[in-house]
Amino acid sequence: MSRLVTLTTLQWADLDLESTCRIAKEMGYDGLELGCVGTHFDVKRAALEPEYVDWVKGLLDKYGLTVKALAAHLIGQCVADDPSDPRLSNFVPAEIKDDPEAIRAWGAEYMKYTAIAAKNLGAYVVTGFTGSPIWKYLYSFPQNTEELIENGFQEVRKLWLPILDVFKENGIKFGLEVHPTEIAFDYYTCKRVLELFEDRPEFGLNFDPSHLLWQGIKPELFLEDFIDRVYHVHMKDAAVTLDGRTGILGSFIEFGDNKRGWNFRSLGHGDVDFESIIRILNKYNYQGPLSVEWEDSGMDRVYGATEACAFVKKVDFPPSNVAFDAAMGN
């Protein structure tokens, strides 16, 4: 049986929830990865108010959609990021935007709400970010010390353990999306953070190939090596267009600009080898959703997300239950 194809709604948070449900269904999706942003979905209400949960479930039922995952990237970023980073003020409540410690406390409190909200909705995983107190030290000049880096990893563990306790209590997994600005942003930082949380199986990964490809990492190798901690899968594409002038660090140029050395692309329009990814998911019997996180600054989003849904359904071929040459042996 084919896996569910869901739509990550973070990029659709300018719409109300019913409009998002209606458009997702029209585009062919089986369900939503519900973004915990703005007025789109209120995780505190979903954690504390059964009537609100009933209302959300009613909308989902009306449009024949399911929710297996919540997306809490912006909330999670506030937990272990530098709380004085002014960019965090873009998505926290206005009354705390100038209070770094209140921002961090809000992030931790609301991440706990996401675990309870996920349980109440019948989801099994919350995807998101952790933030990182050491991302600014990516390039080791002035020189980093191992103590500086290790202290950063330990700070993330200390901040996230109370949150993971709530996830464990509610039977919900957390899937970190390996991504620039997070404590895990590539292969070896991911390996390190999974070892850091080895004793906490509720901490795992949301696999997203688009953030790996442009770094020179083969997403399919990453997926196979970490498959036992992959709790959710994003389907998202990227294209690398290095031309001798462009670079992978982006030059402070906005996404979509052709002067960048890489950009996110609608599914099938980039360089990710999705067939290899599906083969690995089949090999290890991943039965979770394939969630389209649609980001392409050069394409209409309804056109692109509709095409992306069809692309995923086409590429998600079932595994064989027989060797192709078995009949010849008879």
Per-residue pLDDT of the chain (330 residues; tens, 9 = 90+): 489 999 999 999 999 999 999 999 999 999 999 999 877 899 999 999 999 999 999 999 999 999 999 999 999 999 999 999 999 998 899 999 999 999 999 999 999 999 999 999 999 999 999 999 999 999 999 999 999 999 999 999 999 999 999 999 999 999 999 999 999 999 999 999 999 999 999 999 999 999 999 999 999 999 999 999 999 999 999 999 999 999 999 999 999 999 999 999 999 999 999 999 999 999 999 999 999 999 999 999 999 999 999 999 999 999 988 776 666 666
For 113-179, list the strands marked E by DSSP: 125-128, 173-177
Q: Are 107 and 79 in contact (CB under 8 A)?
A: yes
Question: Is 76 domain-assigned?
Answer: yes
- 237: three-class secondary structure by DSSP: strand
* Closest to 313 in 3D by CA, of 267, 253, 251, 272: 267
Query: Is residue 114 assigned to a domain?
Result: yes
CATH code of residue 196: 3.20.20.150
Q: Which residues contact 299 (CB under 8 A, 6 or more apart)?
A: 266, 269
In a domain, 272, yes or no: yes
For residue 329, being part of any structural domain is answered with no
123 inside domain: yes
The counts of H helices and E strands in the chain are: 11, 10
* 268 part of a folded domain: yes
pLDDT at 39: 77
In terms of Cβ atoms closer than 10 Å to its own Cβ (0-12, 13-18, 19+), residue 85 is middle
* Whole-number pLDDT of residue 329: 66
- Domain hosting 56: range is 5-320
Report angle CA 66, 68, 74 to the nearest 5 degrees. Answer: 115
* Domain contains 60: yes
User: Residue 251: which residues within 8 A CB-CB, separation 6 or more?
Assistant: 259, 260
Q: What local confidence, expressed as pLDDT, does residue 298 receive? A: 95
Domain count, the chain: 1
What's the confidence (pLDDT) of residue 211?
Answer: 98
Considering the entire predicted model, what is its pTM?
Answer: 0.96
Q: Name the nearest CA neighbour of 13 among 32, 37, 31, 46.
A: 37
- Residue 81, domain member (yes or no): yes
